[in-house]
Amino acid sequence: MAYSDKVIDHYNNPRNVGALDKSSADVGTAVVGAPECGDVMKLQIKVEEGKIVDAKFKTFGCGSAIASSSLATEWVKGKSLDEALQIKNMDIVEELALPPVKIHCSVLAEDAIKSAIADYKSKQGAQPQEKTG
Amino acid sequence: MKTPIYLDNHATTPVDPRVLEVMLPYFTHKFGNAASRNHAFGWEAEEAVDRARQQVGALVGADAKEIIFTSGATESNNLAILGAAQFLGENGGHIITCRTEHKAVLDPARYLESKGFRVTWLGVDANGSISLEELERAMTPDTLLVSLMAANNEVGTLHPLEEIGKICADKNVLFHTDATQGVGHMNIDVARMNIGLLSMSAHKIYGPKGVGALYVRRRRKPRVKLSPLLHGGGHEWGLRSGTLNVPGIAGFGEAARLISAEGQAETQRILALRERLHQGITERLGHIKLNGHPTLRHPGNLNLSFAYVEGESLLMGMDDVAVSSGSACTSASLEPSYVLRALGVGDDLAHSSIRFGLGRFTTQQEIDHVIQRVTAVVNRLREMSPLYEMAQEGIDLSKVKWQQAH
């Protein structure tokens, strides 16, 4: 299977590989996928005043999965939570020119964004007043 | 050193230049049809086919008259299994094979199952070996055929042909072996191993694609009879009609002659390179699992799982090395290798597997380069693997509740 230039670029130069402190209240963490399925994405966002100021990922998966998550971190940075929730898997498919058999990689990346935001929101819900003061 | 480096010799091998040399005249001035009995063009072609028949037969200890030329091992396997079943089992019957066989054995057997034959699918242990006791226990009075391969194409495990042949002979059951991968690299003797049918392919032994052979026991008893699949001009003793592929067959003959003469030394050389590759990788990287039997395996085969790294991304990082992966991401099915599954390899490690297939033209320089490349790419991918991170944190990955994509 031939990869698009953009997939190859993200694979060779992945953006935002790394980890944020998952115990921190302003960090939302998602781990989606399963090793048995050949894809696991970990995506983390750091939120300040409703804006995603940083994002990191680690991915176990094929080149398209790595590229999808790398692109997702690039796209969410600087966005508000509501804006980030608007990112759809088909936007990723289009940007990376993913073939039909790789669409699940983009689905996983969308899930990762949503799940990281949900994790952040649940942390905020659980301890809403901690940071004032 | 030329790149990309070819380490996929189980998929196919290049035609040896010496083989090509022998083939060329049969495309041009020696173009006759081997079935033309009344002129020199035909005689010349027939002579080439007869010579090749003898050379291919000699590779497995068979007589020239016991070799049927086919279009490849898939056809040989189909002719062996369907041909034997049709001839022996007019009222159905029982066939024994194994879950790790090539699709060209599994699918004909499955087809016969749909036509009323009973099939026993033997399992394998973690090394890919069958149990001889289980084979013996599976045999019933209506067992017509046992089909078990010489060397597995994915994990390289060798089946004990001599012991299997002995059990079959004792029970008077026909024994077919798909020797596509093993032939030339292991000592195969159809008489000593009580083999009744044996499939081979030219392009796995540095001959051309599109040519194979089926050994059919005739010289010794019990003589094997088959129903043909292809009907027509009655070529190959009526077992395989169709004009013979004379250049291909001439090449197959030469390829067989070369590997008969050089195979033993070649096997030692390839084996040493494979050990160098295996050792080189395991010295530099942890969390590596060897798939297949540690010792009873094809000399050119090294199948490794690199934990926490997905196979396709690994291949992508080694774009100057041609290997294959058990990860299904390379196919449309998204299912990992059925062979690795049969060995009990978890789907996670199956997704992380790479098959290295060394061959005649593999050099030490290439192996050393591959060791460097694999090490660098695996280290890089592990750095960005959430599974590796979790494992480093001491998390038991088998106990994690994974959130699936929907």
Predicted confidence pLDDT, tens digits, chain A (133 residues): 678 999 999 999 999 999 999 999 999 999 999 988 889 999 999 999 999 999 999 999 999 999 999 999 999 999 999 999 999 999 999 999 999 989 999 999 999 999 999 999 999 986 554 444 3
Distances from the Cα of B133 to the Cα of B96, B130, B138, B163, angstroms = 13, 9, 9, 11
Say yes or no for a CB contact (<8 Å) between B329 and A3.
no
Let me know whether B219 and B322 are in one domain: no
| Tokens 């033209």 -> residue | B361
Say what the pLDDT of residue B38 is: 95
* Chain B interface includes A6 (CB < 8 A): no
pLDDT single digits (tens) B31-89: 999 999 999 999 999 999 999 999 999 999 999 999 999 999 999 999 999 999 999 98
- End of a domain among B201, B233, B259? B259
d(CA B388, CA A19): 13
d(CA B248, CA B254): 10
Say what the pLDDT of residue A127 is: 59
- The reply to whether B3 falls in a domain is no
Let me know whether B182 and B73 are in one domain: yes
Distances from the Cα of A25 to the Cα of A20, A127, B89, B340, angstroms = 11, 8, 72, 43
pLDDT single digits (tens) A8-33: 999 999 999 999 999 999 999 999 99
A–B CB contacts, 8 A cutoff, strictly below:
97
- End of a domain among B242, B259, B276? B259
Say yes or no for a CB contact (<8 Å) between A59 and B387.
no
> Which residues does chain B have within 8 Å of residue A58's beta carbon, measured at their own beta carbons?
384-386, 389
Say yes or no for a CB contact (<8 Å) between B404 and A33.
yes
**Residues of B near A (CB-CB distance < 8 A)?**
308-313, 316-317, 327-330, 332, 334, 336, 346-348, 351, 383-389, 397, 402-406
Domain count, chain B: 2
- The reply to whether B10 falls in a domain is no
- The reply to whether B281 falls in a domain is yes
- End of a domain among B239, B259, B279? B259
Q: Residue B27: count other Cβ atoms within 10 Å of its Cβ.
A: 12
CA distance A49 to chain B (A): 28
How buried is residue B263: exposed, middle or buried, by Cβ count under 10 Å (0-12/13-18/19+)? Answer: buried
Let me know whether B161 and B277 are in one domain: no
Let me know whether B52 and B196 are in one domain: yes
d(CA B381, CA B358): 25
* Chain B interface includes A78 (CB < 8 A): no
> Which residues does chain B have within 8 Å of residue A11's beta carbon, measured at their own beta carbons?
313, 316-317
Let me know whether B383 and B336 are in one domain: yes
Say yes or no for a CB contact (<8 Å) between A36 and B347.
yes
Residue A117 three-state SS: helix
CA distance B379 to chain A (A): 13
Own/partner pairs, A8-15, CB within 8 angstroms, 24+ separation: A8/A63, A8/B316, A9/A67, A10/A66, A10/A67, A10/A70, A10/A71, A10/A96, A11/A63, A11/A66, A11/A67, A11/B313, A11/B316, A11/B317, A14/A57, A14/A66, A14/A67, A14/A70, A14/B384, A15/A70, A15/A71, A15/A73, A15/A74
Divide the 406 residues of chain B into consecutive groups of 10 and give the mean pLDDT of each group: 94 97 97 96 97 98 98 98 92 94 97 96 98 98 97 97 98 97 94 98 98 96 95 96 98 98 96 98 97 97 96 92 75 75 92 95 98 97 96 90 67
CA distance A60 to chain B (A): 5
Q: What is the dihedral of CA B40, B42, B48, B49, to 10 degrees?
A: -160
Say yes or no for a CB contact (<8 Å) between B309 and A60.
yes
Let me know whether B217 and B271 are in one domain: no
Structure tokens at B59: 């590779």
CATH number at residue B159: 3.40.640.10
Q: What is the ipTM of this complex?
A: 0.90
d(CA A29, CA B9): 44
Domain ranges of chain A: 26-120
Scanning every residue of chain A, which has its alpha carbon at the shortest distance from the alpha carbon of B348? A36
Let me know whether B294 and B251 are in one domain: no
- The reply to whether B371 falls in a domain is yes
> Which residues does chain B have within 8 Å of residue A6's beta carbon, measured at their own beta carbons?
none
CATH number at residue B346: 3.90.1150.10
Say yes or no for a CB contact (<8 Å) between B389 and A58.
yes
d(CA B91, CA B382): 57
Scanning every residue of chain B, which has its alpha carbon at the shortest distance from the alpha carbon of A108? B405
Say yes or no for a CB contact (<8 Å) between A37 and B347.
yes
Let me know whether B275 and B377 are in one domain: yes
Say what the pLDDT of residue B330 is: 47
d(CA B159, CA B102): 13
Say yes or no for a CB contact (<8 Å) between B402 and A107.
no
d(CA B115, CA B107): 12
> Which residues does chain B have within 8 Å of residue A37's beta carbon, measured at their own beta carbons?
334, 347, 404-405
CA distance B178 to chain A (A): 30
The terminus-to-terminus CA distance of chain A in angstroms comes to 56
CB A33 within 8 A of CB B405: yes
CB B149 within 8 A of CB B171: no
Say yes or no for a CB contact (<8 Å) between A35 and B402.
yes
Let me know whether B204 and B347 are in one domain: no
CA distance B328 to chain A (A): 9
Let me know whether B109 and B188 are in one domain: yes
- The reply to whether B402 falls in a domain is no
Let me know whether B246 and B268 are in one domain: no
d(CA A40, CA A115): 13
DSSP B397: G
Say yes or no for a CB contact (<8 Å) between B406 and A111.
yes
Domain that holds residue B57: 17-259
* Chain B interface includes A11 (CB < 8 A): yes
Let me know whether B270 and B371 are in one domain: yes
- Which residues face B175 on adjacent strands? B146
Residue B316 three-state SS: helix
Question: A38: left (phi > 0), else alpha (psi -120 to 50), else beta?
Answer: left
| Tokens 């250049």 -> residue | B247
d(CA A33, CA A35): 7
- Give the catalytic positions of A in this structure: 37, 105
> Which residues does chain B have within 8 Å of residue A32's beta carbon, measured at their own beta carbons?
403-405
What angle, 0 to 180 degrees and rounded to 10, lies between the N-to-C axes of helices A5-12 and A63-76?
A: 80
Scanning every residue of chain A, which has its alpha carbon at the shortest distance from the alpha carbon of B378? A60
Which CATH fold topology does A26-120 show? Sufe protein. Chain: A (3.90.1010)
- Which residues face B301 on adjacent strands? B357
pLDDT single digits (tens) A39-50: 999 999 999 999
* Chain B interface includes A17 (CB < 8 A): yes
